[in-house]
Structure 1
Amino acid sequence: MPNLINVLWTLSYEMAFYLLVTAMFTLGMHRRSTAVALGFTTAAVLGAGTLPVALLSAGGSSRMLTVVLVVAGLVVMGLTAVLTGSRRVRQAGSIVIGVTVLGLLAVNQSFPGPGQGLLILATMFAGTALYRAERGEHSWRQAGWAALVPLAGIWLARGEFGLQTAIAAA
């Protein structure tokens, strides 16, 4: 809904983060925050100008309804498997969740802009990397790589001084 985007757009990134963290815990990858942050950063830098940002949302309301129903179905199936299945079923469910969320981030993020959505997720995972270093779960040196996230954001926002300032401040 175009009139809701300005108010609610951040919630979709929070939900994507929580779903990805669920998948990572289920797959035993939850301690790899720095690598995930750098992966999202790399995807943002490489894909910022090439991703088909409205691939799933273009095509009218009937197509949008289909996409919403398919995505909701995949997430519900994945979460059901994660919460109720055997180890293999939980892992399969987490892969369904992860692939669904990553697909949406890659080809359906017209707001706030190409690459910026991936950087939002990279920033969230950079925060978890810093949290893990603070708790002694991995080294500050390893967490230090998370500094590449805002640097990439500033580089991607070249020409937009306000956005660069906001990224630097954050």
Structure 2
Amino acid sequence: MADSHMQSAKDIEKEFIARIEKHQAILHKICFVYAKDESDRKDLYQEMILQLWKSYPKFRGDSAFSTWMYRVALNTAITQTKKPNLLLLHVEAPSFGEDMGKTMDASEDVKILYRAISQLNKIEKAIILLWLDEKSYEEIADTIGISVKNVSVKLVRIKAKLADLIQKLQ
């Protein structure tokens, strides 16, 4: 009986790794926006993986895996960046290392957009990342824990704020 349990644990681990690999771009985006440099991005990425693994047994499939993953990863990023060494207080853009090109189109427009996003507050960052990933207002509301109406209001304000920030950065 113990042997079949071990196989089951291995299957769970394989399934988890496959799902993380499929959706790892989510984690990279969050790291680029919430962490100030390459070292902090690596630390945050590892912490998000750890928290996802710890939370995985609680994933019941009530929402899409990517929605659940966003929720856990964003909560981890928001919690981690409360720690002074990860807090993105500076106004200059985060450095975009060579892995940026691997996970995202590193065109100048994209760099400017991410610089602008990095200047938003933590909740605004989360909302705009989900919106840019084409999540519905309902999915954003569910992930962030606010009403659909509040998502709509916040997105209008965030887009206006981003437009101003982008204009200043260009």
Q: TM-score range by the shorter chain?
A: 0.3 to 0.5
TM-score with structure 1 setting the length: 0.33
Q: Which has the higher contact order (CA 8 A, sep 6+)?
A: 1
TM-score with structure 2 setting the length: 0.33
